Every structure is written in structure tokens, then in C-alpha cells.
Structure 1
Amino acid sequence: MTAEALYERILEKIPESELRERIDKKIQSVGGLLSEEGALLLIAGELGIGIEDTKEEKKHFFISDISEGMQNVDISGRIMRIFDVNTFQRKTGVEGRVQNIVIADNTGSIRIVFWDDQIEKIKQFKRGDIVTIRNGYLRKGLNNEFEISLGKEGFITSGHESPDYPQINYVKLKIRDIEDKMNGIDV
């Protein structure tokens, strides 16, 4: 179900003014780090709109096949990059943690976001491993680019080697040869 469809489903239970207010409060409670789609999912859960009511038919996707608002996404790829854990202070005063990885298949790459206790799920993996993300949902994140976050039922498992996943190519550069637009560089 798309974010728009979920929005309409929630409006069957509460007025739009209340929904807008609740969305804003959810986003503010995590210091702006939650998307509107994420807030909608949380509010749907609070209103008893069960996950079975919002799930799309389960399908395994290539990265190029995913589109905005998709939920219940299963996707596999090679871990191309693992970012450090970042901690932040929520407006409630509670400390939060976030860690990202980037996975790729032969059609593209995407950031996968792990929040708080979900971070423990990725400690067993390293760069180059093949993984499968199950029950993720797509949203726009940093730089207005798509990323996948795990839902409450989401998890990460080991995947199987396949020609669908690119190999990691290590290229050595001299520091003076690094340019501004290069990313994913290990020094």
C-alpha cells in the first residue's frame, strides 16, 4: 500500500486535522529524523490498523524495481558500505542511535537504515557479504534519496552468492587524487 493509500485508510478512523497534528508530533519527537511515511506507519499501528491491512503482496524486488511508498519489501544485495553508528538526542531527551549500510545489486544501490535496537541485527555482517532485507519499507531520506527502513517485523539475513550482485572493486588512490564528488572512500 502506498503512503497515500495508508493516509486515506487512517482518515477512515480520525479527522485529517488530528492526523496532521499526530504526524507532526511523531516527526518532532525524533528530532525530525522520521519521514512522514514512517509517522503514518506508527500512527496506523496505534490505531489498530494491523500490518496485514497495509502489506502489499509479498514480492522480492531488484533495487531498480522499487518505488516510493512501497512497504513489506524484500530485497537482496551485496553490502558495499557500512557506516558508523551515530547517536543523537531526541526532543524527549532520550538518546537514539542510527546506523546505515548500502547494499547493491546489478540494477543499483540503496541505503538501509537501522534504528536503536535494530543495529544489533547487522553486527554479524561485514562489507562484501550478501544479505536479504525482509519486511522493509521505502521512504525518502537524506538528500531526498530513497532508503529502506525496517518495520517492526523487519529483519536482515544472510543471502546467497549470485551474479545479480556486483563485486567490490578496491582501487588505491593517492590522497591528492581524491576529488570532491567521490564518495564511499575508505582512507
Structure 2
Amino acid sequence: MVNFEEIEEIFKRLEGKLTPEEFTSKVETKFTEMNGLCDSRTAAMLVASELGLNENVKIKDMTADKGNVVFIAKVTSVGDIKEFSRDNDTMGRVVNLNLADETGSIRAALWDDAADLVKIGDIKMGQAIKVKGFIKQGQRGLEVNVGRGGNVEHVEIEVPVKVKAHKISEIKAGMNDLNVLGKVLDIGKVRTFARKDGKTGKVANITIGDETGKIRVTLWDAKAESPGVNAGDIVEVMNAYARENTFSNSTELSLGSGGGIAKSSAVVTYNEPLTPISDIGINSAYSVAGHVSGIDDIREFDRPDGTKSKVSNIYISDNTGRIKVALWAEHADLVNELEIGSEIRIVDAFAKSGRNEEVELSAGARTSIQVIRK
């Protein structure tokens, strides 16, 4: 005999298609047909499937009274793993994910062994996963808890996500929870810095572009060390926030602990807009192309912090004018490769007023330079 309590949860999900007695009878028949090759719960799931019940639920259909749920979703953000001490003096681990499918999104908390999957890199931003967990009402809405009785596994399918992707031209400082598709144009070096608590932090920048423009994205710590993307990749930046860079007068994206970046199969195009030299004004970044019409020597100097650096100047011309370009630090060595007449392309140089109030370009850490023809 089948114990109804063992299959009651599955029966409730049939939403009145059968009476409890009818469902139990069908489960007992199925159990007999399987000749002991499954337990009563599996037999109940087989019966439910034959009656049109899909084990996987959509996020929009989840309610707090569903109890255990199984669903397939895409990981749209991964939080930091937190450790805590239990009353029995054992240590626990928990990490929060944001998951989404084509119907909506939901927060999931992974506990202990499930949280360790994030720690070892088995669960990452952008992956499709199948989740078995317990749904309940949390402080910020419904959430799924994956503990000892739950499970998380990878699935090799594309999960369409109901998340608005912003065009880069739409992004304004102060906006939060931004999702952006773009092409990786440049990946900067990882830099270290001292936090207020004395610990060392890491930061790196990448630049992405779409058909409406480009924007810099700041990555912190583990994301800075291993962003998992390369120049030329199409990526999805998720759960970012926008802020104003007062130095460059531009809006940038930043990824905190709940944000991330992942490769995407989407098609995104970007073409770098080049500004004629005669149209360059001060206090903004420009991309230009032209031929080298002047080269100065490299000069070394001491920074205020006591470290040494170097700078060299070149002049480039196009059919609209001529402009001085200061090449700082590693860019200064480029003069050893150039000749008068070399064709060059400079991306994201900052324009400022130089001597005699003439406009000049400054090529620093954010600038990329390509020698097209020597």
C-alpha cells in the first residue's frame, strides 16, 4: 500500500485533477507496473507527468505554499559567501544568487555544501542550472532555499531571461540593477589598493560597446582578477550600477558583489567613432586617426609619490588639422616604433588646454593606441 503522506505534495500540484483516492490508486498501479524499480514518490511523479504535470515550474508560478520546487533558471548574479557560527558551534556557509527565466526572477539562498559550489567555481554568472529547493516568503519577497534536501546541477540549455537589457546610450548616473549587452573593446590591467580596514583590494576596468556607444565597467577583487572574458567577446553585464566619473565627465558602470559578467551568444556590433582633429574640444575623451607629423624625445620625471615615470610627445595630422599628443608611461615608448608619416589610431585620449591655450590630447592608462602603418 502507498502511504498518501509520501505523495501528498505531488498530489497538491495536480490542482484537483483527481481525488486523493483516484490518485493513490493510479500510483499503486504504476508502482506495481514498475515491479519494484521505483519508490512510491517516483511512481507518483510518473503518474503526475502522464497527467500533464511538468516537474519544472516557472518562476512566475511560484507561491509560498508550494513547498519544494524544481525549476530551471539562469544565474544572473552571485553574491559573496558568508560564514557564520551555529548554536552547536559548527560553521555554516550561505551565498545568495539571483535566478531568472523567461517569466521572472527570484532570489535563492544556497547553504553549506550547495554554497561550496560557488566557492569552487562550479556555479558562475550566466550559467543555466536546475534547482531543487524549498520556497518560502522572505523579507524581500519569495526566496528559494537550497539546503541538505535540495540540489543544484548544471543543464546544457539556453534559458531565455525576462530581463531588460539597456542600450549604452540609455545609461545615466544613479541607475541601478542594469543589464547591458556589449562587445569587449579593451581589458585593463589589475591594480591593487589598500582598503580602509588595511586589507588589499583589486580593481580592473574593461570597456564594452554596442551600436549606441561605449562605456567603462569597473570590476572588483575576484572579478577583476578573473573576469572570464577576452577582447572581442560579446558579454552580458548584469546587476551593475552607474556612476559619474568626475575626472573624465563620463558615466561608468560598476559591479559590486551582486553583479557579474558573462559571455553571451547575442549579436552586438560596435564601430569606434573617430573625431576630426578640427572638432576636438577640451575636457572630454576623443578617438582620432591620422599620420605622425612630429616626434619628440622621451623625458623621465619623478612623480609626487617618489616613483619615476616618463612622457613623450608626438603630433598627428589629418585633413582637418594637427594636434599634439602626450604619451604617458608605457605609451611613451611608442616613439621608438614611429616615423614621420606613420599612420596611427588613438582611442580614448583626453583633450585639455595646453600651452598657449592650444588643445592637446593626453594618452594615459585609459587610452589604447594602434599603429596602422609604420
TM-score normalised by the chain length of structure 1 = 0.59
d(CA) in 2 for partners of 1:86, 1:62: 28
Of 198, 205, 217, 1:112 maps to: 217
How far residue 125 of structure 1 moved from its aligned partner, in angstroms, is: 1.3
d(CA) in 2 for partners of 1:136, 1:161: 19
Written as runs of structure 1 = structure 2, the 5 A alignment for 1:101-140 is 101-122=206-227, 124-140=228-244
2:263 counterpart residue number: 158
Q: Is the 8 A contact 1:58 1:73 kept in 2?
A: no
Of 69, 73, 79, 2:184 maps to: 79
**1:142-179 Cα shifts (integer Å, max 9, x gaps):** 523211111322111111242x42268xx9x8635557
More helix by share: 1
**Aligned partner of residue 204 in structure 2, secondary structure:** strand
d(CA) in 2 for partners of 1:119, 1:65: 25
d(CA) in 2 for partners of 1:109, 1:89: 29
Could you tell me which amino acid in structure 1 is paired with residue 169 of structure 2?
Answer: S
d(CA) in 1 for partners of 2:140, 2:186: 30
**1:68-123 Cα shifts (integer Å, max 9, x gaps):** 2110000011100000001122343221110000000011000000011222451x
- CA change 1:131–1:96 in 2 (3 A) is same
2:338 counterpart residue number: 175
2:253 counterpart residue number: 148
2:369 counterpart residue number: 185
- CA change 1:157–1:167 in 2 (3 A) is same
Q: Is the 8 A contact 1:62 1:107 kept in 2?
A: yes
Q: Is the 8 A contact 1:105 1:166 kept in 2?
A: yes
Q: Answer with 1 or 2: which has the greater Rg.
A: 2
- CA change 1:84–1:147 in 2 (3 A) is same
1:30 counterpart residue number: none
Q: In percent, how many aligned pairs have the same letter?
A: 34
Could you tell me which amino acid in structure 1 is paired with residue 229 of structure 2?
Answer: F
- CA change 1:65–1:129 in 2 (3 A) is same
More strand by share: 2
How far residue 134 of structure 1 moved from its aligned partner, in angstroms, is: 0.5
Q: Is the 8 A contact 1:121 1:155 kept in 2?
A: no
d(CA) in 1 for partners of 2:256, 2:163: 14
2:120 counterpart residue number: none
**Aligned partner of residue 173 in structure 2, secondary structure:** coil
- CA change 1:59–1:121 in 2 (3 A) is farther
Q: Is the 8 A contact 2:189 2:204 kept in 1?
A: yes
- CA change 1:58–1:82 in 2 (3 A) is same
TM-score normalised by the chain length of structure 2 = 0.31
- CA change 1:134–1:147 in 2 (3 A) is same
**Aligned partner of residue 71 in structure 1, secondary structure:** coil
Count, aligned residues:
130
How far residue 185 of structure 1 moved from its aligned partner, in angstroms, is: 1.5
Structure 2 residues not aligned, in runs of 5+: 1-138, 142-161, 273-288, 292-336, 347-360
**Aligned partner of residue 248 in structure 2, secondary structure:** helix
- CA change 1:175–1:93 in 2 (3 A) is farther
